[in-house]
Each structure stands twice: as C-alpha cells, then as structure tokens.
Amino acid sequence: MPLIYDCLIIGGGAAGMCAAISLKMNNPSYKIAIIEQLSRVGKKLIVTGNGRCNITNADLSYNSFHSENEGFLKHILDNYSGETESFFEGLGVVFTTDDRGRVYPNSLQASSVVDALRFKIEELNIQVFTETKMLSYKKKNAKFEVETDKEIFIGKALLIAAGLFSGGRKLGSDGAAFGLMKSSGYKTVKTTPAIVQLKTESDIVRQLKGIKVDADVILKEGGKTLRQEFGEVLFCDYGLSGPPIMQVSRFVERSKGAKTIYLDLMPHLDFNSLFELLLRRCKTLKDRKAEEFFTGFLNKRLGQVIIKIAGVKLGDSVTAITSSQVKKIASLIKALPFNVIGTTGFENSQVTAGGISLDEFNSSLMSVREEGLFAAGEILDVDGDCGGFNLQWAWSSAFCVAKGIAAYLGGVK
C-alpha cells in the first residue's frame, strides 16, 4: 500500500528540513514526510563553515547572490529572509556575528544546528524516511506518486529540495533529482562549481606550495575584470586556494574565455610608490646578494621566485639589478599572474552555480508546469558568495515554499 501524505519533501538537507518545520508549525494538521537518501538528515549541514555553520550574514545585499532571474531572486530575499533569526530562536539556536558580518550559531557547532532541526522535526511528528531515494515521480489524479527504492509514496504536494552536485555523493549531491526535472522538460541554467579552489598552469605555484600571503586577487578574462577580492591566498601544488580565491572562483567556468588570476601583493602601494621604494632598497641593500633582496619585505621563497622571473640571478649582487629589472619586479609584485586552467571540481566545491531556472516557478516557487510541485534550495538557479549566503538562500526559499504549499493545500479538496 502506498504511503499517503499532504506533502512529500525530497531531501533532508537545509532547505527540506526548514520547509518541513515551517509548514508544519503553521499547519499542525498536515501529514508531512521527508524522504532522504542518506543514512541521516543534514549530512552536508554538519560540515558547513568548517563545522561551525556560517548560517547567514548580517548584510544580505543582493550582490552577494547570483541568478539569471535577478528580479525573482530579489522578491524571495526581500520577503522571506526576515524570519530567519526568529525561526532559529524558536528552535533554541541563538546567533552570533563575527567582525566580518558572518553569522554562526552561538555554540559554533554545525552539529547543534542539525540537532535543533532534528529535535523539532521529531516534536512536530514529521516523518523521516532515511536511506530512501526518490527514483521518479509522476502526477496522477491531481496527486504526486513518488517511486523510491523502498516504497511508493503519494503526496498532494511535492517539494524537491534535493540539492545539486557540490560536496559529492557522500553528502548526497548526485544531481539525480535535477536530472529528473531536466529530462521532464524544466529549463535549466548551466551548472558549474563555485566556492572552490583553482587549478593553475604555472609551475610557480608548486615552488611556492604551502605559503600563505595576503593579496588582492583579481580574476580577469582578456582585459576584463570579472571579480576582485582581498584576503589570504594559499599556494598549493595544483594551484591556488584561500578565501579570496574561493570567492572569485564562481566566474571561472561560467564563460569559455581564458582566465588569469593576478595577485597584487602590495595593494596599499601604487606602482610608482613601490618602484621608488624598490630603487631606494637597491641602494640601502647594495652589499647584499639578490636572493636576500626581499628579506624582511616579502615571504622569502616568494621574493626569490619574483627575483628569478624578473631575470635576476639569485647569486648576483643587488648592485647588478638594473632599473628595468626593478620595474619588472614592481610589476610582478603588483600583478603576479597565474593562468587558470579550471577548478578542482564539484566534489570540492561548496555550491553549484546554475540549476533549475527560476522562470519555471510562480512567486511561491510552485512549478508553472506541474501545479503542486515546489522546489527550494540549491537545486534552483541561485548561488551565493562565501559568507553564509547559500544557507540563507536555503532558508529563504524554504520559508517561501512553506507558505506556498499551505496556500496550495488549502485550495486542494
């Protein structure tokens, strides 16, 4: 016998759990089931923010979110972000904000956010079916029949909150639900990894492996700056990592053109001031070897690599460095180039850019193709920058669908 519910929710991640709770709290009589393919709900949520869960951000400016349908995105952010803090307070989760506006649970434990959601799900008697994977769905007699690898479920409303590809299969991100919707005709926006490390061509990064430096990171395609971010960059054997790299990474696979990362290692000095400073340094340190030219100024290995690229031999005297070589050194410090060859892929990414187009939904995130089908979270064409914006999208879209599902079910006989 199929199991019959008012609402079936595919995916026990951030968006699915939040939508289930919000829907049930406001409509206690509804019978709701969460269908989750992994052994537990919230497996991805538990690893967010390095185990601390950057749950939202104090500044929810539109420019920290990305979608091809910006108008729709703004509508959801404007109308469904305000309740985030009170929702979590109701679950016992108190927020704390760091000096960069990133908001965390006061416990600084992502596991406590998952626990709070789980406890509420139990209290509200929302049924959870773990290790149960949706294989397909179809609409039959104005209801949704969901075939899983265990049972058949029937729901008057269906919410797809199944995420996309980021974090890989161990976190439930196989993109199968996205594939199902795509093959049934839903318009999609190209999916690419975002908030991810970058692979670069240069063998310089291998020489610098393990070094961390503060730099302005500028991602360019041709002469056009795609994104610029300041922060700590980490050199790795495959390329570059660190917060500003993750932040600019979204734009690497969105377009086809060749991309270059330029690191400005002295963003507080303009080129001319830096050039003058280096010329003075040549005089002050005239008795040193070139390999010691940067001692006390730049990281030793980094300084030596720059000296070599500028065509100066490490064993030469500082006095042998020509004015044009000083100019070259200054240019390298202001814009050390790395040709980008790609990202480290979906598995290592925190979020997937692109997804099911928002054009496919009405203002409650109900499908315009299949009445009664809703979607929330990462599966939709919305992604945010690093800093709590992706979870905020999961919460905001969940609040939106919870209201939409209630309105829809209210009208269903």
Ligand X SMILES: Cc1cc2nc3c(=O)[nH]c(=O)nc-3n(C[C@H](O)[C@H](O)[C@H](O)COP(=O)(O)OP(=O)(O)OC[C@H]3O[C@@H](n4cnc5c(N)ncnc54)[C@H](O)[C@@H]3O)c2cc1C
Residue 166 lies near ligand X (rule: CB under 6 A): yes
Residue nearer to ligand X on the CB measure, 94 or 412:
94
Residue 354 lies near ligand X (rule: CB under 6 A): no
Query: Which string of x and - marks every residue 98-137 that binds ligand X (by CB under 6 A)?
Result: -----------------------------------xx---
* CB 11 to ligand X: min, Å: 3
* CB 335 to ligand X: min, Å: 31
Residue nearer to ligand X on the CB measure, 243 or 303:
243
Residue nearer to ligand X on the CB measure, 12 or 155:
12
Pick from 8, 9, 10, 265: which binds ligand X (CB under 6 A)? 10
Angle (CA) 276-228-76 rounded to 5° is 155
Residue 143 lies near ligand X (rule: CB under 6 A): no
What are the tokens at 33? 């089931």
Residue nearer to ligand X on the CB measure, 179 or 311:
179
Pick from 7, 9, 36, 235: which binds ligand X (CB under 6 A)? 36
Angle (CA) 46-47-52 rounded to 5° is 80
Binding positions for ligand X, 52-81, rule CB under 6 A:
53-54
Residue nearer to ligand X on the CB measure, 202 or 247:
247
Residue nearer to ligand X on the CB measure, 372 or 377:
377
Residues belonging to the chain: 413
Residue 350 lies near ligand X (rule: CB under 6 A): yes
Residue 358 lies near ligand X (rule: CB under 6 A): no
Q: Are strands 351-356 and 188-194 parallel, antiparallel or unpaired?
A: antiparallel
Residue 37 lies near ligand X (rule: CB under 6 A): yes
What are the tokens at 319? 């006095």
Residue nearer to ligand X on the CB measure, 47 or 341:
47
Query: Which string of x and - marks every residue 378-407 that binds ligand X (by CB under 6 A)?
Result: x---------xxxx--x-------------
Residue nearer to ligand X on the CB measure, 30 or 395:
395
* CB 60 to ligand X: min, Å: 11
Residue 49 lies near ligand X (rule: CB under 6 A): yes
Longest dimension (CA), the chain: 90
Residue nearer to ligand X on the CB measure, 14 or 402:
14
* CB 148 to ligand X: min, Å: 7
Total number of residues that touch ligand X (CB under 6 A): 39
* CB 108 to ligand X: min, Å: 12
DSSP collapsed to 3 states, 163-179: CCCCCCHHHCCCCHHHH
Residue nearer to ligand X on the CB measure, 14 or 265:
14
Residue 12 lies near ligand X (rule: CB under 6 A): yes
Q: Residue 128's beta-bridge partner residues?
A: 34
Q: Which residues sit at the interface with ligand X, rule CB under 6 A?
A: 10-16, 35-38, 43-45, 47-49, 53-54, 133-134, 161-163, 166-167, 172-173, 176-177, 350-351, 377-378, 388-391, 394
